[in-house]
Structure 1
Amino acid sequence: MLIDFLKAFFLVDRAQLNRYNKSTFQQSALRILITLTLLVFLGVELNSLFIATDKDSELFLTINSLSLTLLFALLFFCKKYTQASSLLFLGTLAVIGLLLVTLSNDSHAAKYGLISLYSLPLMARLLFSFRFSFLLSVANLGSFYLIVTDSRSLELTGSVGVVPAFTSFYFQVLTFVTLNFALPLAVSRIMFTLEQNATHLESLYRRLNRNHSLYEEIFEHTGTPTLLCNKYGKVLKVNQPARKLLSLSQQDKIENSKIQSWLVPLNQKTERYFWQSNAVECTLKKDTNVYIEVHRATLTNHGHYMLHLQNVTHLKALKQELEDSQETNSRLVHFDALTRLPNFHYFCSQVNQRIKQEKTHYTGAMFIIRISQFKLLHKQYGKDNANRIILNFSKTLQSRLSDQTIISRLRGVKFACFLPLGQAYLIQRNLSALIKSVLPEQIRMDGNALNIDYQVGIAYYQNDDQSAEELVEHCEMALEYSNSAEKYSYYDHQLESKLVEEHKLGLQLGDAIKRNEIVLWLQPQVSPNGQICSFEALARWQKEDGNFVSPFVFINIAEKLGLLPVLAENLLRSLIPTLSEWHDEHIHTPVAFNLAGQELMNDAFFALLMSLAADHPWLSDMLELEITETSPVMTNPLIHKRLKALHQYGFVIAIDDFGTGQATMGQLIDIPATVLKIDRRFVAPLPDDQRHLDIVKSTIQLARSLNMKVIAEGIETREQANLLIALGCHTLQGYYYAKPAPMSDWTNNNHEKAKELRMVY
């Protein structure tokens, strides 16, 4: 008990020693020094009670008694007033030392005083800084001077000889140097090293904590049930999805238990070390009707195993039903394993058989349904829940279509239907309404309603020579031309010719991009007073025959083929040298560069854009980024995140073609755009069309309320220009001011034309 009390009082127990705290160390040192000094003075006081004292010792004892009182007081107040107590303690020792050295005739008292003075630097270093300790060491030169010049230190010279005096003098020097300089400097060096090590360890501890928190977060939020175990099957860690999958409550302690306590492998050969297999099927020990598939990933640095768990109970049940049925082999060949709908080959066989059995003038239609946002649902809800969505959709579709309809799951999220038609549904509008009525707008899952969006490609069966395979191909062609605006697309021969032509053009486009044949033209953007204030960079493709391909055509093809990131990278690299020269020439005319969204989703292009911004700090002042509002990726959270990063780099973000596509009011707030660009289709009917005028007014008012700049494009007349200026447009663009021109027109003759900020009258 006494030892524990002393450890706690002197702050040297395990809890205090395990953490670095400078104030705690100083308080501990102060308590130890005061206590030891107090014991010394208390011993002197007790000794005086038994030994008679002469008059020379009375001063020493008086000082000793007063010091005891002060030391007791400092020991009491040192916890609350550590700094003040430290100063008073050092001051007390200094005063005692000076009094005993200068006033006392007792040689022993003088020695005590000298020790008190010489001990001050060392104590000061423990309680304060090195500078304060060094000042006290220098101040002790005065004490040393008093001692060595005092005649009493040399009294023995006459009676004993030179050697004792010489020895006494050099003993004083040695004592002075050792106590005042050597020990404080050595202790300072030790404390400095300890402080540096403590700081370094504290930095390493913070980094370790950050990394640990990061790994904890990654492990916990992978979205996949995961547990970590060692090579002996001891569970080290488990995330929340895994706890939920294993039906564990928060009170269940799975850590440090054996994995065999929770999972039982189906294959008895792998029962002993089943967690070391690449993939193994197990059941829950507490519920053998739940099947878990375990996939192993080895962590080579530590020799542990990361196990990913997947609930395959539903798939297991379907598989078991097929195996128990007499038609197992047939179903595996002809039916989709998940939905039990006919697969492509069996579907075509059934449709062809239906066509042959019907009359000569049999009329029908085939349509392919594609669930639009399924990739997002798959990513958000996981594979198992995505399969449940597909299953629920197929059941709903079967329940709403007639028995005469043949339904198939082609692959993934594509479903094909072939149905007989009455006369009324030969009109495309009526057939579209029929298809829309059978497609569920929502799918319920775990009590939640999920909105489902579709794209549909439709083809009519019109002659006896058509086969199911041809109809599927026609539906696929039509599906290629469906989009978020036109969800129902019908096949015709012109569409087929258009697809063939687009295919050829796509091959030429790929070659043109490789050869950098697509170049940038610049169209000026002017302020209300007619002065050129910026440009828009527009892609132009001139084929070898001299004909230009419309940007609307080749940009759309590039987007379908996934070539936009490569095209944008080539165009951006061609623009940077011109911007660099303009920056050097002080031509402060920014250039707006169009992005369709697909480029920002590409990691390589985004990394290029960020590296260019880092290499050219001025680039954000010379390059503006216009993201097309019609792009479907506008709603993707990754786009919002990357646009915010670019905005933080200083880039001006503009929303192009505003009002024609995907943006909502909420996204206007999420996207860090500072510019709204009014599309030409709203500007063209001005000033005569009142409805378009109201739309433009409301758009400008919306931009003003969001503190955004407004650019109007497609201006072709003076009346349109004057009207838009009066409405408050900040920047204007169109053929009325200038048509797009090759970039070389602005850079020839040492950028002569670019340096002329001309007025338009």
Structure 2
Amino acid sequence: MLSRIKQLLFLTESDLNSTSVPRLQQSTLRIILTSGLLLVLTIALHSSWQAYQLGAWYIIGITSGFYLVLLLALYFSARFLAISKLLVLVAVFAAGLCMLLFIDNFEISKLGVIFVYTAPVITLLFFSARATLAVMLLNFLPYLYLINGNAPINLFNVSITLPATAEYLHSLLFLFFNLCIPLAVMRLISTLKRNAATLQQQNMQISESNLLYQDIFNHHSKATLLLSADGVILKANAKARSILGINHAEQRNIIELLKATQPGQTPFWLGHETESTLRSSPASHILLNHICHTQQQHHLVQLDDITPLKQLHQKLSANTQKEELWRNYDPLTTLPCHNFFLQLVKQYGECPAGSLMMIVRLCHIKAFNHQHSYEAGDELLAVFARELRAALPDPVICARLRGVKFILWCPLSEHSTSFTEEAQRISHLLPKVLVLSVGTMQPVYETGVSISNQPLAVPEHMREQCESALESAEAYANPLSFYQADILEQRNNELRLLAELKKALQSDTPELWLQPKVHPDGSIISFEALLRWQDNTGNYIAPDILVALAEQYGIIVQLSACVLRKALLIIEQFNRQQIPYPIAINLAGSDLLANEFYNTLINVATHKPEVLRMLTLELTENSIVSHQQPLFNKLQVLNRLGFELALDDFGIGQASLSILSKLPVNCIKLDKSFLHKVPDDQRQTQLIQSVMHMAKTLKLQLVIEGVETDIQRRFLQRLGAQIMQGYFFAKPMPVEHWLKQLKPAQQKAAVTEA
């Protein structure tokens, strides 16, 4: 019954959330008519009965006529809303005029004029502002009559006065002013509140998106555009505006600025590696890459200026090796790439006196990028390469190895008397000062040197020896380091492990084992996902070794992405089996600074928000301190998106209390080293109590790691510890083990019973 009434009055959830003005007017009109018909029914029946007793049939006709008009208005409101609205307004005026013209008691007939005073409100609800003003002016006529008149009009000498007419009119006015109009206004206000709440929520989403993409723009080293679905530029960072050659790119369509080299059916800005040219300068070539789309159906697009490469390609167009050379030069520095460098060394021929190879690493470039910008960092590398090429003599071959590393090879002359002096001579040729747009800079170098006394150099071996020597170089204490064999063996083992790890990531063989975080009684609260991987010899490699290796050789993003992907699969398995325990994964910090992984997390928050309550991101204290402000900004955005953040290995790093107070973390995990001598060591006990008090003051969850004995458990429980983790409760075990143990009927069981 209630649902039918809601459907009749358009009060269903979809109707209340609708922004349609006609639907709102229909609902308001039906509320007025329905409530009016039901409430006035008693008055109409009673007055008709009195008129019947008095033989005043015309009163019954007038009452029935008004009731019929209201019923028609209710009927027409479904299909002919305009007619229905007009009938209601006419009924109001007609009722007022009937009371004024046909009631012979002047004081009672005044009530009819008061009834007409509601006409502007009715007009405002259903008609335009002009119509409302017209009705307001029209109402001056009855108002002036009431002020100046002193007797009823009594037109046609017809009276509709009944013994209870005064009670009827007072009841009618009371019902109309106290019920019908308030109910209609309540419907309007309810819709306004809902629309206001919806707008507020949309504004919050837009604000969060703006903060989010502002952060992406601020920390993206590439030229980036935010485009609407129609290609209108909503935002462009400084590098994008520079490439496009305009100061203000916003609100301009990308079609006005770029022309696709090979037009297709889909918009060219949605493709990957799509070549285009500037319409204002056709000689300028731009490469577009679509990164992702947002919730608002906007698009992030990356731009690269490939004009220098195109020019180089055009210069080599007559050469049969043009496609090969295209791939052999670094686009930023225009120096040879690594593989082409090796070919050039081999093509050089014999060197009777031997040769030397050097890898030069520019130091503190990360700090330079953070202080100035990534664009300034790119400029630094380009200027360094230009100065280096100009300073080196002809026999020296130089190239860009990767990142901030450059590689040089030089044949030794027959007159050389010392390999060391020759290496030092070349190192002295490195640029001392670089003049950049942000000012001058004095670069600091670390150099690894390999020397070969063989006539024919083997550049691959020399490069490995240089990399090995570079590991022991130190910018201020030992900037020029020569190869040593024992370091090379260690490096070879690392490279072997690295190759196996890369292959494992490609085949997706690393696993996540789960270790529970529990209450002191052993009941499970959540799990920490720990990385487990076996090398080719069958040995499990410690996670900290894997993370250090991945960070050193630039595959931390792939490793963290693998961990995140597997954690999301575990959460899906838990949800299917109704296992309500969150999963925490460990991140390195440097992975968050990589836009690829950072955008993956943003996509998770955007497209799978229900996962956020089941996923916690843990970062070690040292990783946060190492990256400072850039990482702080990323963490702030992730926290606003809804991610739970935890500080792992607390107490063994270098974080100060001031840093801790700024971090948007929800939980800290006390490192297991604090429990080695508990409860015997009073100082360690006092430290644990201090940390517990600090966590309580900062309203942070505290997890105590490394609980390995029942004595430690009971002691910590007496201190007030609420969450623990350690081998006493459970070792890390494969996911399948926990899926069997944690059946829905057993989820409340303690892990010590499992």
Bigger CA radius of gyration: 1
| Structure with higher RCO (Cα < 8 A, 6+ apart) | 2
